[in-house]
Amino acid sequence: MYPLALTLHRVSGESLAESLDGLGRATGLDVAKLWEAADVIDEHIGDEPVAPVAPRIAVRAAEYDLPAGLVAALELHLRAHAAADRLLEVLEEVGRIRAEAGWPPLAAPIGQILASQALLHVLEARRYGTVIDEFRELVRGGYGVTPEPLDPAVERAVALLAPPAALLEDPVTTEDVREQAAGIAASEEELVLIAMFGTDAEELLKVIRARHSRDAALVAEDAEAERGERIRELVKIVQESGVGEIEIEDEGMRVSVRRAEDVAAPGITAQDSVRARAGAGAGGNGAPDDESRAAADVMRVESPMVGVFYRSANPGAPPFVEVGDTVVLGQTLCILEAMKLFNELKADVSGTVRTIHAENAQPVEYGQLLFELEPILVPPSV
């Protein structure tokens, strides 16, 4: 309609119908009704000016047969990553991916899905090295049957990159879910979570149960308190007697306490000696300290795409993880947003969050370090 065509730099329906009628190619449209409809739209918009689409965006949208809003969003995203000069590459890649995906219509959210995948291809300088979940669902028919057949090579690439859970096609019944969730789900809502998200939901519920259960923590605290009391008794014996050194071994723990004057290194107290020798373990072979060992075993979690880093599911919600938190395999660490599509980044191992390198709601590059995790050999008991 004319009031909207002015802002989009497009030919209005009223003008097009009149032109075709003048050429003897009657459209069958009542042009007077079109003008009446334009008046209704004009009254609805009011006198407030509508922000027009920039001419460069309108021209590219017409050239590549894409919605102007989609082109504007792509340009904005590229500018945020100092890559505005690559807009034409991304637009060409959108058309190429659309053809390979069977020419799906560009109605939302299909246009955003194709644009996000094209953006990854251009910025990563490789095609289908990373496949977003929504594009995988599009190729598998989750959004309906495409007008044209899909490119077999793309279908194979998407299938090869699919996670193991996505390759399972056996139907799951309600009874299967109940049996799977036995001892984990405490309500119908939690059953639905397990049915929708599988092992991810199971791990989350286990962590929640562990946080609310203090039994294991109390047992551990009691054991640590007892061990600490025994070590203090040993130190007291050494201090009050003439014994130069005392050593005991019990239940896999070896503790040696030596009087300060017998220690070769000056300034080390009996408590320091206890900590140093207890840290060496039962073997007493001088293993590396915790800090150097953690530095050697730290796992880097890097961004698999260009996007915006979010620490929580929505503004005001608590972060997924904090420094010092223990995470389990498959637990969500953050969300990466690209072209209005939100992708969860999950932990590949169980471990402790040692460092968070990205700021909330800030752009991140492909391969940028986001987290450092210190893996744990034995996952926490839940």
Q: Which two tokens stand for residue 185?
A: 């789900």
pLDDT tens, 239-287?
A: 666 666 666 666 656 666 666 554 443 333 334 443 444 444 444 444 4
Residue 339's pLDDT is 72
Amino acid at 15: S
Residue 217's pLDDT is 47
Q: Name the helix (H) or strand (E) containing 133.
A: helix 133-139
Report the distance separating Cα 252 and Cα 191, nearest Å. 42
Residue 1's pLDDT is 84
User: CA nearest 75: which of 88, 93, 94?
Assistant: 88
Q: Is the dihedral of CA 277, 278, 282, 286 positive or negative?
A: negative
Please determine, for residue 216, whether its predicted confidence score (pLDDT) is greater than 90.
no
Across the chain, mean pLDDT equals 77
CB 360, CB 293: distance < 8 Å: no
Q: How far is CA 75 from the centre of its chain?
A: 23
Report the distance separating Cα 60 and Cα 381, nearest Å. 57
Beta bridge partners of 337: 308, 342
Helix (H, G, I), strand (E, B) or coil at 377: coil
pTM above 0.75, yes or no: no
Q: What is the pLDDT averaged over residues 358-380? A: 83
Residue 174's pLDDT is 66
Please determine, for residue 28, whether its predicted confidence score (pLDDT) is greater than 70.
yes
Q: Which class does domain 55-166 fall in?
A: mainly alpha
Beta bridge partners of 323: none
Backbone angles phi, psi at 308, to 5 degrees: -110, 130
Q: Which fold has domain 294-375?
A: OB fold (Dihydrolipoamide Acetyltransferase, E2P) (2.40.50)
Residue with tokens 């070896």: 254
pLDDT tens, 36-78?
A: 988 888 888 777 666 677 888 888 888 898 988 899 889 988 8
Domain boundaries, the chain: 2-45, 55-166, 174-212, 223-287, 294-375
Question: What stretches of 75-159 adopt beta strand conformation (E)?
Answer: none
Please determine, for residue 296, whether its predicted confidence score (pLDDT) is greater than 80.
no
